[in-house]
Amino acid sequence: MKRIEGGVTAAAGFCAASTAAGIKYKDRDDMALIFSETPCRAAGTFTRNVVKAAPVKWDQRIVSESEFAQAVVVNAGIANACTGKEGLGYCRETARAASAALKIPEEAVLVASTGVIGMQLPIDRIKAGVEAMASCLSGELKGGTAAAQAIMTTDTKKKEVAVQVEIGGRTVTVGGMCKGSGMIHPDMCTMLAFVTTDLAISKELLQEALSEDIKDTYNMISVDGDTSTNDTVLLLANGMAGNPEITEKNQDYEIFCQALNMVNETLAKKMAGDGEGCTALFEVKVKGAESKEQAVTLSKSIITSNLTKAAIFGHDANWGRILCAMGYSGAQFDPEKVDLFFESKAGRLQIIENGVALAYSEEEATKILSEPEVTAIADVKMGSATATAWGCDLTFDYVKINADYRS
């Protein structure tokens, strides 16, 4: 597997564009368009929040019922959530505008929105934005990068990645972009992710690959414990790599799954590391668990602990907060067998052994925890199962950002 430059336009046949539609933000692009030269097999995973935004409802139907998809229209600034029949109607109007501009069926257009909940979209600006983007689509890397920048809300940096693998004697590319900074919490987070590939694969296996992979990627991140109304991950495959179509779970399927995992995990970590106001990516690895479920439960409990997140912000090796979070997680373990380590580029340090603090150096611990990427490793010594979760520290700026998000 080779990491390459780019994002959603890295795979053959995909192009993208962005425009400043003036939906909420001024003097910046706030709409993006992804388009494939040929029809795509489409897969998707969506929020489990009972309150689902209109674009989620639209995309669930398109992914489930449409023969193919060929375009994705994304806007930033307004979420089109809790907007009733009018909001769902605007999804159709957006798809209709894309259909006319791109000369594809209305039912081949997916839509996504992110931003403030409860506001109606300025549909005239949305439709004008679609027309503008359709005329400036680019298959170059800069087209994908511009799209990744346009969908940002409180994000501080664009998020994109691409990889290449060999499948069936052909070079296959998988690329993606995402946005997400706040209202991020596992259970398919406000997060949007779009992955494109030129692989030829059946729709059923494409969906299965995505559904399985999000369990260890997007569903293992948390910034603030709030599950968004708009969470969407879309995966489009246009088959232009020319490989023999994957119709069974063989070696080619496994290679694709590895490439998909690399893209999704990278994007997930970029979101966690860009949490609103954060200064550090906080990674938690649980090892020695008796089951995968136990490891997942423990790791997610630690990354969602506000007290632990605050300690990471303060570069404080307050290991008692980690054990406390493990203890209320609901997973059963023996706290008197737990070993805990902190790790970063500055080094690795064991903090407790068999549930008891060691004579470690607080100065060294602070040095390790002062890096922009910090890992806590908890070994519960019950088996061989592992899980990794990603979050971030909790800072003063998180409160500042969310105190007046609508302004």
**Which residues are known to be catalytic?**
190
Are 34 and 6 in contact by the 8 Å Cβ rule? The answer is no
CA-based Rg of the chain, rounded to a whole angstrom? 22
Rounded CA-CA distance 271/265 in Å is: 10
What's the token pair of residue 22? 């003036």
> DSSP for 158-203?
--EEEEEEEETTEEEEEEEEEE-SSS--S-----EEEEEE---B-H
Location of structure tokens 């023999």 = 244
CB within 8 A of 319, min separation 6: which ones?
A: 340, 351, 352, 357
Taking the alpha carbons at both ends of the chain, their separation in whole angstroms is: 44
Q: Is the dihedral of CA 301, 302, 305, 307 positive or negative?
A: positive
Surface-to-core class of residue 190, CB atoms within 10 Å of its CB (0-12 exposed, 13-18 middle, 19+ buried): buried
